[in-house]
Chains A and B, each alone.
Chain A
Amino acid sequence: MSSSASRRPYGVKGAPYGFLLPAALLFALFFALPIGYAVWLSFRKVHVSGLGLGSGARREVWAGFENYTGAFRDSELLHGALRVLGYGCVVVPVMLGLALLFALMLDTDRVRLAPFTRLAIFLPYAVPGVVAALLWGFLYLPDVSPFYFVLGKLGLPQPDLLDGGPLYLALSNIAVWGGTGFNMIVIYTSLRAVPAEVYEAARLDGATPLQIALRIKIPMVAPSLVLTFFFSIIATLQVFNEPTTLKPLTNSVNTTWSPLMKVYQDAFGRGDIYAAAAEATLIALVTLALSFGFLRAANRRNRQEEAR
């Protein structure tokens, strides 16, 4: 009896590690290792000797922080980041605003055809980003767009949506069109989870539907709003499909329009995977800092409110 008692803890002690092993292994192999390799590459560079023709003319050498200083000095990366910031300032508020509005409207009692409407708003999310960008790209091109045809017939001005400021609206529109449905579903689901008693109590207290929406529903779904905001920030920082697809249609989108496009261009256009690795590392760090910074801020507010 005493022997079994002393052996049992050993078995139990080992078990968690055994259960953890597959996940840890997968994490190490397919997450930590590639990231580690990318970071390693970001400290390397190629050195060419002579004309660089023939075998053995290229060697991989240690670069130190050269790729990182290069990325900081490269104004194109900063400009790309600023462009994406401008784009994000349009996309995130508009998309989340619309998603919240639609979710609240669908959650009201008097709504008809709710399942159909929900599906119709959600459906664009199922359209692949590249296809969506192509579709809108055709609608933006003055010579082939039916909108321009109609505007022309009505004698209204025909703005060039693929240039200057309107370009940001054009790009944002694609993201909003594709992303609103998803965010709406997330918010709507958490609205449905709010217990009916809460509304009943509010109604008994004489709250109007508008007051219920503003004072009860929105605060109740705040965690979902935080979550969707968090996803949207990450998606914005990673914008690649839409500008890449629109690029051949206009002179206004260059090959390094967004930071990720610059990474892609450096890795596969210029063939400099080392610089691209450094830039990718920087973007990952900024993304982490921004998203976790936001999460912490949101959590702190929550805690303060709870304390009150």
Chain B
Amino acid sequence: MPHTKRRRLVTTAVAVSLGATTLAACGSEDGGKAESGPVSLTYWTWAPGMDKVVDLWNKGPGRKDRITVTVKKQASGDTLVTKILTAHKAKKAPDLVQAEYQALPTLVSNDALADISREVGDVKGRFADGVWQQTTLGTDAVYAVPQDIGPMMFYYRADLFKKYGLKVPATWEQFAETARALKKKAPDKDLTTFSANDSGLFAGLAQQAGAKWWTTSGDKWKVAIDDAATRKVARFWGGLVKEGVVDNQPMYTPAWNKALDTGKQIAWVSAVWAPGTLTTAAPDTKGKWAMAPLPQWSLDQDVTGSWGGSSTAVTTDSAHQAAAAKFAAWLNTDGDALNALAKESGIYPASTSAQLSGAFSNPPAYFSNQADFYTKAAEIAKTTAPSAWGPNVNVAYTSFKDAFGAAAKDRSDFGAALRKMQDDTVADMTKQGFEVSR
């Protein structure tokens, strides 16, 4: 999943990605000249292999409609949001962009994304309501077409769980017990780590607990990062870290890779794209891992959060918004396109029918021992809790990294860190002039 690949890239090869960005910038002038046709569109995306998927369009439906799409590979996530906003200031944003769900309000609030409800309104039924709602921001407008999603799951070393006589936790209470039991049996091992370097994980966990960080009423925003649900999650992980039964070091570091590969950490709370990350992080333990639903806060619940996932949006700067919307709808609902996306880009599709299509009949190679991996994943995806993003998710995420990073390091109060996150977010919104209700 590109979402995590990005972090890896940052950790290991900043220089390479910088070089790639520069190259991409150099090539930005020749967009659209490659093929003839009345409409040529530029598409900024970070999904690997997207050029091959777009080729299908250019040779098939695109040729018929005389709409040619050119892919410009970009750095992912927040970096791309910044780049889009900068380009938009110069009225030079590309026609199509890939955007993570939590970035949509930021982009919309900067007037960078076009309302494409007229063109893509009829594909609504292809997606789960919770997913679709993220692209409308609760309005009548539609700002993007969902592409991939990241329902969260629990990954664990099946062999080591057996060795230490551990049971797969069904509730967070049991999760804590499991962590303690492991510490008792093997003091040098950890069940997992609380990592503060990817805010999406914490946001997903809070979402599962029922948090709605940003909501609106009338003309006012309400920020509820420090709400009861999130406090519960923060207290839970803070307690485990303080007790010393889970590690407190960040993910995606060489040390983390090694811990997973050598069985020093034997579980990972992650999302559906984890097989891709594990393949590179822990190649030696292939086939030893298993996937289970995320632990619940109470046994009668069945709900998960989401971590990652992105959509395809059309910018206000595009001169051919209708054509661009047509491509966006095709890319994320057409069977062939979704198959190619699964194969070339390794994404887990947002389209519900595609989740059980041919590309997902076999488990990922890393999980060859778990034949029903994708059937189970589709079941779990259905239970995804709705999310609520606001116009300054980036600020909240940065505040999370700094405040929780420090708290995890000192094994101190996570509640204080959460309050800091809330205060920073509200302060930034107020400073920008948003009306924030208390």
> Which residues of A are interface residues toward B (Cβ below 8 A)?
46-58, 70, 128, 130-131, 134, 138, 141-144, 163, 244-245, 248-252, 254-256, 265, 268-272
B111 touches A248 (CB 8 A): no
> Which residues of B are interface residues toward A (Cβ below 8 A)?
7, 10-15, 18, 78-79, 82, 85, 105-106, 108-111, 137, 139, 141, 196-197, 216, 219-221, 248-250, 252-255, 258-259, 264, 316, 391-392, 394-395, 398, 401-402, 405-406, 408-409, 428, 431-435
B11 touches A251 (CB 8 A): no
A270 touches B253 (CB 8 A): no
Interface of B is mostly: helix
Q: How far is the CB of A73 from chain B (nearest CB, A)?
A: 11
Partner of A130 from B15, B249, B253, B255 at Cβ < 8 Å: B15
B197 touches A248 (CB 8 A): yes
Q: How far is the CB of B202 from chain A (nearest CB, A)?
A: 14
B111 touches A163 (CB 8 A): no
Chain B residues positioned under 8 Å from A131 (CB to CB): 15
B432 touches A48 (CB 8 A): yes
Chain B residues positioned under 8 Å from A272 (CB to CB): 428, 431-432
Q: Whole-angstrom distance between the alpha carbons of A268 and B106 in the complex? A: 13
Counting from the closest, the 6 A-B pairs by CB-CB distance are: A143-B255, A251-B405, A251-B409, A254-B402, A48-B433, A52-B109
Question: Taking A48-B432, A251-B196 as contacts, is the C-beta distance between A271 and B137 under 8 angstroms?
Answer: no
Q: Whole-angstrom distance between the alpha carbons of A269 and B424 in the complex? A: 13
Q: How far is the CB of B163 from chain A (nearest CB, A)?
A: 22
Chain B residues positioned under 8 Å from A271 (CB to CB): 82, 85, 106, 110, 394
Q: How far is the CB of B403 from chain A (nearest CB, A)?
A: 9
Q: Whole-angstrom distance between the alpha carbons of A18 and B79 in the complex? A: 44
Chain A residues positioned under 8 Å from B139 (CB to CB): 53
Q: Whole-angstrom distance between the alpha carbons of A168 and B332 in the complex? A: 49
- Closest partner residue, chain B, to A50 (CB atom): B219
B14 touches A255 (CB 8 A): no
B259 touches A47 (CB 8 A): no
Chain B residues positioned under 8 Å from A46 (CB to CB): 432-433
B398 touches A265 (CB 8 A): yes
A53 touches B250 (CB 8 A): no
Q: Whole-angstrom distance between the alpha carbons of A49 and B14 in the complex? A: 38
Chain A residues positioned under 8 Å from B216 (CB to CB): 51
- Closest partner residue, chain B, to A275 (CB atom): B431
Q: Whole-angstrom distance between the alpha carbons of A296 and B216 in the complex? A: 58
Q: How far is the CB of B66 from chain A (nearest CB, A)?
A: 29
Q: Can you list 7 pairs linking A and B with CB atoms under 8 Å apart?
A: A48-B109, A51-B219, A51-B435, A144-B255, A248-B252, A251-B250, A254-B402
